[in-house]
């Protein structure tokens, strides 16, 4: 149909085009470079848990106290760096001096610094914090009294950890132990040259000085019945440890000179065992077995020892050694065998190396099959072993490889179990106690358990369990529902607490009539264009994911960190010729300067350490330092989102992975 006269013909093409042909091409290479990294997201500040803390069974805020030692996180006025670091460290673990020496440091295995050159010497700095605290006499304070009373059975690291945390919460604590002194395996299992008793006793005394009642030489189930504790106290915590060593599961292992590693070390640490036999064979592979062989090399043997003074009789408490004979002792022939290859033994690598340097022979891939007995005396004269290969994670004997290892003393350090005499009803069939994830005993109202009696593990593990058990008991006493533990169950940095400490707590929120609500993004106190106060009631775009996420090395800008050699503690390790009678401490702690320099190697994964990279490299000057009067740890910089173009350079150059491009649309 023809168009009406006088009317324009309708257009069939586009009526409007925002872009012209060719607009998809860059006008210049410079424009392409500057616009290529733009995104519709702006930076947000995300706090995550570093892998050192996630690897720490005690749940320590390791990054926190390292940042304090290095001077990034400042102590409040009137508090020294050393005390502030001590307070942060002991929120989770009241034994920094002990753990800095004897912990195998799984935190260092997880340390992201391993991706650069070598782990941060976390345990060395922890020892520095702990030793300084003892030297300066730092103490603990109990919380306001609640009137509730808790009985703790077992004065080892687990029970003491729980006692410490419960007193901080204000609950009364009575600690029962069947020994003459507190300390458990830390005192009766770890030799004094690894853990000096002055330091251990100092840290124990600091806990009991909080108002802990102590009843020693008291065995529950014999001297006092468990049912009486349940009646007399508001809650009971069983932290009795595993003091019964396991015998070798082979024929002849009941010979009198076949003893457990636990009993051996207890006799030594009590001062009863002062010499061993000429040929000692230890079966194990863990830390206990290495302690046994190291002690045996130091003790040596006396050739013409009386029959009644043989080591096994002393260990079993039937005799004591005559000190006057020790001048004639000689170096013992000591061998440690393990079913695992030597490089896969569970003991700390440096402890294995120390033992070898001290003259201990160590062989792996050997499986005990029989104890050979002397026909006249009935004592063990050798241990028959066979070589094994590991196939699909299981040991397989190699036919024709049997051999006899001559021995005057055979020590089994292959595991431990609990001694539940008098409390047999709690035995789960494995010589241990069963508890739920909150460490409550099923069907036993108000009774809890923690530590090795649940599952033998590291000292740092049972200390962490003591802390969690204390939380559970606190909730039980307050008639609160047991709270689900976070995925990353450690002591985290808390920005709100830090702001309160610095008198920068956000103000109460009140709805504003002003249109410029974006001012609250910074959380800075100021005035609007109309003169009204705005801001101060929000923290600048900070997100805390620490309870759910661990900061991985891929999130860090590793190029920021130059090679920096680790500052190691000096070790006074005796040689095989010097080890006899050598009971001095092997580890020399760091100086103030060394501790600070080593702490500076920490990469502060998941938390700003004020390097200024984001401020320096932002092409829009959108990233700014928070004014000093309102800045504190975790609140060092902010982003002006009116200037931000989403180039994500700040996130790229952030060494700690603290900046993420994740805030809304630009």
Model pLDDT, residue 20:
65
Please give the Cα distance from 149 to 255 (Å, whole number). 46
CATH of the domain at 657: 3.30.70.20
- Domain tally for the chain? 3
Model pLDDT, residue 9:
56
For residue 630, what pLDDT band results from cuts at 50, 70 and 90? confident
25 lies in some domain: no
30 lies in some domain: no
32 lies in some domain: no
Element (H, E) at 459: helix 459-477
Please give the Cα distance from 647 to 335 (Å, whole number). 63
Please give the Cα distance from 53 to 490 (Å, whole number). 7
Please give the Cα distance from 70 to 598 (Å, whole number). 8
Please give the Cα distance from 649 to 661 (Å, whole number). 10
- Residue at a domain's end among 391, 417, 443: 417
Whether residues 362 and 446 share a domain: the answer is no
Whether residues 407 and 424 share a domain: the answer is no
596 lies in some domain: no
Q: What is the mean pLDDT of residues 426-455?
A: 95
Cβ-based neighbours of 241, under 8 Å, separated by 6 or more: 154, 156, 158, 184, 185, 418, 451, 452, 453, 462
64 lies in some domain: no
CATH of the domain at 404: 3.50.50.60
pTM: 0.89
85 lies in some domain: no
* pLDDT one-digit tens code per residue, 353-364: 999 999 999 999
Whether residues 380 and 498 share a domain: the answer is no
Quick check: helix, strand or coil at residue 187?
A: helix
Whether residues 223 and 256 share a domain: the answer is no
Whether residues 339 and 283 share a domain: the answer is yes
For residue 25, what pLDDT band results from cuts at 50, 70 and 90? confident
Q: What is the mean pLDDT of residues 394-413?
A: 96
* pLDDT one-digit tens code per residue, 204-263: 999 999 999 999 999 999 999 999 999 999 999 999 999 889 999 999 999 999 999 999
Model pLDDT, residue 573:
85
522 lies in some domain: yes
Model pLDDT, residue 503:
86
Whether residues 373 and 459 share a domain: the answer is no
Please give the Cα distance from 567 to 587 (Å, whole number). 13
**How many other CB atoms are found less than 10 A from the CB of residue 77?**
5
Whether residues 273 and 384 share a domain: the answer is yes
Whether residues 270 and 338 share a domain: the answer is yes
Q: How far is CA 665 from the centre of its chain?
A: 40
Whether residues 342 and 422 share a domain: the answer is no
108 lies in some domain: no
Whether residues 264 and 412 share a domain: the answer is yes
Show the tokens assigned to 589.
């702690």
Please give the Cα distance from 155 to 181 (Å, whole number). 8
- Higher-pLDDT residue of 663, 416: 416
Nearest to 514 by CA among 497, 493, 499, 528: 528
Cα dihedral sign for 142, 146, 147, 151? negative
* pLDDT one-digit tens code per residue, 549-560: 999 999 999 999
Model pLDDT, residue 83:
98
Q: Give the range of the structural domain holding residue 262, as residue numbers without chain letter.
A: 245-417
Whether residues 161 and 249 share a domain: the answer is no
For residue 516, what pLDDT band results from cuts at 50, 70 and 90? low
Q: How many CA atoms lie within 13 A of 396 on its CB side?
A: 5
Whether residues 262 and 402 share a domain: the answer is yes
Quick check: helix, strand or coil at residue 36?
A: helix
């Amino acid at each position: 149909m023809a168009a009406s006269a006088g009317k324009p013909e309708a257009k069939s093409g586009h009526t409007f085009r925002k872009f012209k042909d060719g607009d998809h091409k860059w006008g210049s290479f410079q424009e392409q470079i500057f616009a290529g990294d733009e995104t519709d997201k702006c930076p947000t500040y995300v706090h995550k848990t570093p892998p050192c803390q996630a690897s720490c069974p005690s749940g320590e805020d390791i990054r926190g106290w390292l940042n304090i030692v290095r001077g990034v996180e400042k102590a409040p006025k009137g508090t020294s760096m050393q005390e502030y670091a001590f307070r942060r460290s002991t929120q989770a673990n009241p034994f920094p001096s002990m753990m800095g020496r004897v912990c195998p440091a799984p935190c260092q295995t997880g340390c992201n610094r391993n991706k650069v050159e070598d782990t941060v010497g976390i345990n060395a700095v922890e020892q520095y914090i702990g030793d300084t605290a003892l030297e300066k006499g730092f103490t603990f304070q109990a919380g306001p009294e609640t009137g509730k009373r808790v009985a703790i059975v077992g004065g080892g690291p687990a029970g003491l950890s729980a006692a410490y945390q419960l007193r901080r919460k204000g609950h009364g604590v009575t600690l029962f132990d069947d020994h003459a002194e507190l300390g458990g395996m830390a005192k009766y299992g770890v030799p004094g040259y690894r853990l000096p008793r002055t330091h251990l006793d100092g840290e124990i005394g600091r806990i009991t000085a909080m108002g802990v009642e102590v009843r020693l030489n008291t065995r529950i189930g014999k001297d006092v019945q468990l049912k009486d504790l349940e009646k007399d106290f508001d809650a009971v915590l069983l932290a009795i440890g595993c003091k019964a060593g396991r015998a070798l599961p082979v024929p002849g292992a009941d010979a009198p000179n076949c003893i457990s590693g636990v009993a051996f070390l207890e006799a030594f640490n009590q001062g009863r065992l002062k010499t061993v036999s000429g040929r000692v064979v230890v079966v194990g592979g863990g830390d206990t077995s290495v302690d046994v062989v190291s002690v045996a090399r130091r003790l040596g043997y006396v050739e013409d020892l009386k029959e009644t003074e043989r080591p096994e009789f002393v260990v079993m408490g039937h005799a004591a050694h005559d000190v006057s004979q020790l001048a004639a002792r000689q170096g013992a022939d000591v061998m440690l065998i393990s079913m695992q290859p030597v490089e896969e033994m569970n003991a700390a690598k440096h402890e294995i190396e120390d033992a070898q340097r001290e003259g201990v022979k160590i062989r792996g891939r050997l499986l005990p099959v029989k104890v050979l007995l002397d026909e006249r005396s009935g004592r063990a004269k050798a241990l028959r072993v066979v070589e094994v290969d590991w196939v699909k994670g299981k040991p397989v004997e190699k036919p024709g490889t049997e051999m006899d290892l001559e021995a005057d003393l055979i020590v089994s350090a292959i595991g431990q179990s609990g001694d539940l005499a008098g409390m047999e009803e709690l035995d789960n069939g494995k010589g241990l106690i069963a508890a739920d994830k909150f460490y409550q005993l099923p069907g036993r109202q108000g009774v809890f358990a923690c530590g090795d009696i649940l599952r033998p593990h590291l000292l740092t593990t049972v200390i962490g369990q003591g802390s969690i058990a204390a939380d559970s008991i606190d909730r039980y006493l307050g008639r609160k529902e047991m709270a689900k533990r976070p995925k990353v169950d450690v002591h985290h940095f808390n920005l709100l607490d830090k702001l309160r400490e610095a008198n920068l707590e956000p103000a109460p929120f009140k709805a504003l009539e002003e249109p410029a609500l974006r001012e609250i993004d910074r959380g800075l106190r100021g005035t609007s264009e109309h003169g009204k106060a705005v801001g101060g009631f929000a923290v600048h775009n900070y997100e805390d994911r620490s309870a759910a996420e661990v900061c991985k090395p891929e999130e860090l800008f590793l190029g920021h960190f130059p090679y920096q050699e680790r500052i190691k503690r000096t070790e006074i390790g005796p040689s095989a010729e010097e080890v006899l009678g050598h009971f001095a401490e092997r580890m020399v702690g760091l100086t103030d300067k060394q501790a600070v320099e080593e702490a500076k190697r920490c990469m502060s994964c998941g938390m700003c350490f004020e390097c200024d990279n984001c401020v320096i490299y932002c092409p829009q000057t959108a990233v700014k330092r928070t004014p000093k009067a309102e800045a504190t740890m975790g609140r060092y910089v902010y982003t002006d989102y009116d200037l931000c173009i989403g180039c994500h350079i700040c996130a790229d150059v952030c060494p700690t992975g603290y900046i993420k491009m994740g805030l809304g649309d630009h």
